[in-house]
Amino acid sequence: MLPKLLAPAGSMDKLIMAVEYGADEIYFAGKSLGLRAGSKNFTNKGLEEGIEYCHKHGRKSNITVNIVPHNDDLKGFEEYIKYLYKIGADALIVADPGSIEIVKQTIPDMKIHLSTQANTTNYYTANFWHKQGVNRIVLARELSFAEIGEIIKNSPDDLEFEAFIHGAMCISYSGRCLLSSFMTGRYSNKGDCAQPCRWKYNLVEEKRPGEYYPIEENDEGTFIFNSKDMCLVEHMQKFVDLGVKAVKIEGRMKSEYYTAIAVRSYRNALDEILKPESERNTKYWKEELEKASHRDFTYGFYFGNPYKDGQLYTSSSYIRSYDVVGIIKSYDKANGIAWVEQRNKFNEGDVLECFGPKGMHFDVVAMDMKDEKGKKIDSAPHAQQIVQMKIPQEVNPLYILRKKIEN
């Protein structure tokens, strides 16, 4: 049985993209109690719309209430989770024992998923949380395949396990970091991390201000805490073999394009597990993931401690090789005309790549371009302008057009 594929959503647009591109479950947050303060997140009305959209398409909604709360953070907690239950949330992602206790007392039949913030790394801990009423555990990212297998083997059959498979990694153990709050006053465990682990550093001796010791990896400094991004698309069979019930993509604060690429790649890679190995396109899906903004990739701890291979010492910048230039809004099949909402400038004659949820991308030459009124144009420079253009191969709404960045 294939594991469920979880996708992040920091906004309604990203939630729609995640659903349409094949995620089984979507995790998102309201305006409070869910990590990722930098994400737009959802108003109460937005939560209702998001949950309704998930259910309409047969998907589940997991709402994050996974901050590590102080006393003041618990004010209104019971009323909020009652509201989430009322509007149909399928599960709550929780990190704190006190929060779990409140959920169990207030809405006993609500499913509880234990956040990776709780640092579950062994089967004794897993069994403890199961006794507290936890239905699924999001495992710590510092575990190997072998350790995960042992945990699952020694845990109750009705306890589900979820594992991260893609996205940014934190230098601190399962995200429990004080660096941001110490240096900037922005609290990591309230979703407001400034990511000082990715800043440039040099070593200065106390009595020699201004004298920088030559330990840098390059002239800009040394990125001593900067982790590579996780990518496990080549190893989805391992999760299936171990009996992991859900696999999770990181990135509520990332773009719609990232959401589409990541969900599409892992959805197809998972589905292809049911095919003979000769019919799988794993290499292609890895290449697709490289076309979204990312850092160099690592397998994390799945094959043991990566040591220096898990770190990126030369730069904290993202690698970006493609721009999204448009999203298909509608398509006239009889005439082969698409209506495209512009995202970045493109010109008549540009060679674009087009893709949807299934199958490989195909090339499109931007031709017969017209504006919304049908007037001939030779470029689309205006943000979100509607462009008519010829696309002979059939496309559907939410297909994406992208262009390779020159140089």
Distances in Å between the Cα of 188 and the Cα atoms of 34, 99, 172, 311 are 12, 18, 11, 20
Cα gap 287→390, rounded to integer Å = 27
Choose the weakest-confidence range: 1-5, 24-28, 309-313.
Answer: 309-313
Radius of gyration from C-alpha coordinates of the chain: 23
CA 279, 401, 56, 63 dihedral sign is positive
Q: Is the pLDDT assigned to residue 318 strictly greater than 90?
A: no
Which among 183, 169, 134, 127 has a CA at the least distance from the CA of 312?
169
Which among 227, 228, 200, 229 has a CA at the least distance from the CA of 215?
200
pLDDT single digits (tens) 335-370: 999 999 999 999 999 999 999 999 999 999 999 999
Q: Is the pLDDT assigned to residue 220 strictly greater than 80?
A: no
Q: What is the DSSP string of 74-112?
A: GTTHHHHHHHHHHTT--EEEE--HHHHHHHHHH-TTSEE
What pLDDT is attached to residue 197? 64
Which residues are CB-neighbours of 83 under 8 A, at least 6 positions away?
Answer: 44
Instruction: Give percent of the chain above pLDDT 90.
Output: 69
Question: What phi and psi, each to the nearest 5 degrees, are found at residue 311?
Answer: -110, 155
What pLDDT is attached to residue 308? 66
pLDDT band at 170 (very low <50, low <70, confident <90, very high): low
Which among 237, 234, 251 has a CA at the least distance from the CA of 23?
251
Question: Which tops the pLDDT comparison, 230 or 179?
Answer: 230
User: Region 271-299: what's the mean pLDDT?
Assistant: 90
Give the position of tokens 């003979």: 276
User: Region 231-235: what's the mean pLDDT?
Assistant: 96
pLDDT single digits (tens) 18-39: 999 999 999 999 986 654 444 4
Judged on CB neighbours under 10 Å (0-12, 13-18, 19+), 88 is middle
What pLDDT is attached to residue 216? 52
What pLDDT is attached to residue 152? 98
Which residues are CB-neighbours of 372 under 8 A, at least 6 positions away?
Answer: 385, 386, 388
Classify domain 4-172+226-310 at the CATH topology level. Answer: TIM Barrel (3.20.20)
**Cβ atoms of 262 and 232 closer than 8 Å:** no
Residue 223's Cα: distance from chain center in Å?
23
What are the E-state strand segments in 233-294?
Answer: 246-249
What pLDDT is attached to residue 39? 47
Which among 25, 38, 5 has a CA at the least distance from the CA of 254?
38
Judged on CB neighbours under 10 Å (0-12, 13-18, 19+), 333 is exposed
**152 CB neighbour count, 10 Å cutoff:** 19
Domain coordinates in residue numbering, the chain: 4-172+226-310, 322-404
Question: Which tops the pLDDT comparison, 221 or 317?
Answer: 317
Apex 264 CA angle, 338 and 257, nearest 5: 60
pLDDT band at 320 (very low <50, low <70, confident <90, very high): confident
pTM above 0.85, yes or no: yes
Residue 344 identity (one-letter amino acid): N
What pLDDT is attached to residue 306? 76
The strand pair at 229-231 and 297-298 is best described as parallel
Tell me if residue 343 falls in helix, strand or coil: coil
Residues, the chain, total? Answer: 407
Domain 322-404: which CATH class?
Answer: mainly beta
DSSP 8-state code for residue 220: T
**391 CB neighbour count, 10 Å cutoff:** 23
**Cβ atoms of 61 and 88 closer than 8 Å:** yes
